[in-house]
Amino acid sequence: MEANLGEKELKECEDEVSHLALDIGGTLIKIVYFSSNSSCSNDDQKNSLLKDRIDAPGGSLNYKVLTGRLHFVKFETRKINECIKFISSKRLHHYGDQDDGAPASDKNIIKATGGGAFKFADLFKEKLCIILDKVDEMSSLVAGANFLLKAVHREAFTYMDGQKEYVQIDHKDLYPYLLVNVGSGVSMIKVDGDNKFERVSGTSVGGGTFWGLGKLLTKCKSFDELLELSHQGNNRVIDMLVGDIYGGMDYTKIGLTSTTIASSFGKAVSDNKELEDYRAEDVARSLLRMISNNIGQIAYLNALRFGLKRIFFGGFFIRGHEYTMDTISVGVHFWSKGEAKALFLRHEGFLGALGAFMSYEKNGFTDVTREVTEQRSSKAKNSGAFESSTRDDVKDNGCIECRVQVRN
């Protein structure tokens, strides 16, 4: 049953925050929280509009459905204190306050995944009196990806030659697939079903490598600046191409055109130039291509190893960046001779946080039933320093309107 809220009612109701989950990675902290539109002053209205009770399939359990929003926010892990201030100022850590039945001792237990759930457990306890309930990182990534692919409309898309094409996922034909999460490092996971997966490979040459090397080589101050720079660069200035080696000719016998990169950064060997003699734009471009190509190639090899046709790329390295996606797609297409497909996800950076969020099930948080609409969060745009992303879409900070099913 659906709660049928008009725009007016939605505006009149203030958001009531609940259910916070964290993914504390090597570079970024990702936060997902749910806010229900359930603090209307009139209780009757609240009950009739927002909490349609439904019976569980078995008949005995009673559920209520809350209408609200899933919010997505990120912080740099090195600025963890900003994240703690944000949680504190929004009182997100009191997620259980309105949860009638929960014992007091359960109220400040927050689901958290990623290495930082271990590393920063004491800090969260000290500053926010939160106990981090650790959820395995790989199972969170898989749960997050499966949820997005099944529940969120227009989540997965291909990107080739500047064309973005949404892919309708048939739930019965989702598995198996390869999930490649490009965070600071890269994990490659063969997914065979709900909570059925195996981490089959990984590489330390990932997003951290791009951002770390890029910072050293270009003096960029932010990841966005580095990406922007790469947009304007030309990798052929530094990369050694097949044509550079073969006197401008293709090496047709082994299928290499003259414009194929033979050696990333290879021209720097014979150029007799210092770093300062290269344009930062060109360095950034070569670096992005080198990392993206390498990830695309290892991903393809693993897909080949297990006969997987679909490769979903997640993690904050992707950032919906066209050139990154294009490079990965072209690589996968080229090496697989068109057999395998690279697919991208709109909420790519939040897989782990979403997976941790979904794990509230055991505490009575049952399901995010469906997305209603997706929109940019006006709050995210207006709330100042905490959400200061330069990009404007839901991947960075934003929200999905949805319904969640909560066990009474």
Ligand X SMILES: Nc1ncnc2c1ncn2[C@@H]1O[C@H](COP(=O)(O)OP(=O)(O)OP(=O)(O)O)[C@@H](O)[C@H]1O
Residues that bind ligand X (CB under 6 A): 25-28, 76, 114-115, 183-185, 207-208, 210-211, 223, 315-317, 319, 349
Question: Residues 305, 308, 310, 314: is their CA dihedral positive or negative?
Answer: negative
**Whole-number Cα distances in Å, 168 to 81, 120, 160:** 40, 39, 17
Report what 96 binds from ligand PAU, ligand X, none; CB cut-off 5-8 Å by kind: none
> Rounded to a whole number, what is the largest CA-CA distance in the chain?
80
Q: Which of 203, 260, 263, 369 binds ligand PAU (CB under 6 A)?
A: 203
Dist. CA 320–CA 316, nearest whole Å: 9
Q: In this complex, which beta carbon is closest to ligand PAU, that of residue 205 or of residue 256?
A: 205
Query: Closest-CB residue for ligand X?
Result: 25
- Residue 360 is classified by DSSP as G
Smallest distance, Å, CB 164 to ligand X? Answer: 19
Report what 204 binds from ligand PAU, ligand X, none; CB cut-off 5-8 Å by kind: ligand PAU
Q: What is the phi-psi region of residue 343: left when phi exceeds 0, alpha when psi lies from -120 to 50, beta otherwise?
A: beta
**Whole-number Cα distances in Å, 231 to 286, 319, 392:** 11, 13, 18
Report what 349 binds from ligand X, ligand PAU, none; CB cut-off 5-8 Å by kind: ligand X
Binding mask 135-174 for ligand PAU (x = CB under 6 A): --x-------------------------------------
Smallest distance, Å, CB 401 to ligand X? Answer: 24
Listed in sequence order, the residues at least 6 apart from 43 whose beta carbon sits closer than 8 Å to its beta carbon are none
Smallest distance, Å, CB 260 to ligand PAU? Answer: 27
Q: In this complex, which beta carbon is closest to ligand X, that of residue 65 or of residue 110?
A: 110
- Per the listing, tokens 């090899």 go with 301
> Is-contact 34 19, C-beta < 8 A?
yes
Q: In this complex, which beta carbon is closest to ligand X, that of residue 144 or of residue 207?
A: 207
Dist. CA 328–CA 314, nearest whole Å: 12
- Containing 401, the helix (H) or strand (E) segment is strand 398-407
Smallest distance, Å, CB 224 to ligand X? Answer: 6
Please give the radius of gyration of the chain, using alpha carbons only, rounded to the nearest integer.
23
Q: For ligand PAU, which stretch binds (CB under 6 A), given 4-12, 46-54, 201-209, 367-375?
A: 201-209
Before 57, cis peptide (omega within 30)?
Answer: no
- 324 is a contact residue toward ligand PAU (CB under 6 A): no
Q: In this complex, which beta carbon is closest to ligand X, that of residue 323 or of residue 334?
A: 323
Q: For ligand PAU, which stretch binds (CB under 6 A), given 145-153, 177-185, 257-265, 324-332?
A: 177-185
> Phi first, then psi: what are they for 404, rounded to 5°?
-120, 150
Q: Kindly list the residues in this chain that would bind ligand PAU in the complex (CB under 6 A).
A: 25-26, 115, 137, 183-187, 202-204
